[in-house]
Structure 1
Amino acid sequence: MTAERQQFREGLRLEPAERFAQGDASSAIAGDLRGSVRSVQRWRQAWEEGRPRALRSQGPASLPRLSEGQFT
């Protein structure tokens, strides 16, 4: 994922933090963001454990694969 795309996705996760504080339902937030309820539930859980900082990106889920030439 590009740095720009990663930043965009992080912004989407940070956006609902204020709504979590207001007590909005996960389904309402997911509908407004056109995302899945399960994703919003995971963000809410992270937010409850660490507030907005917990919603920041932790980096790529996996490292890029190396080509054959990069092994040597």
Structure 2
Amino acid sequence: MRLRYNFRLYPTAGQRQALARAFGCARTVFNDGLRARQEAHDNGLPYISDGDLSKTVITQAKATPERSWLGEAASRA
């Protein structure tokens, strides 16, 4: 027998802002990683490993002025 539970959350204004920041960072990092792998594939380069991709789209991106806001969100998002 399978049970299912539904939950509804009502975050406060501060929690909504933190969630939006975390989801925005996750979406941006995912899109950057997807773009990097697609460009590598289109150019005939080898598959980019997860570790190299993480260094490129997260660690190195935080050092740039246009992506410095990635450091504001939780690292596990």
TM over 0.5: no
Q: TM-score, normalised by structure 2?
A: 0.33
Asked which structure has the greater CA Rg, the reply is 2
Q: TM-score, normalised by structure 1?
A: 0.35
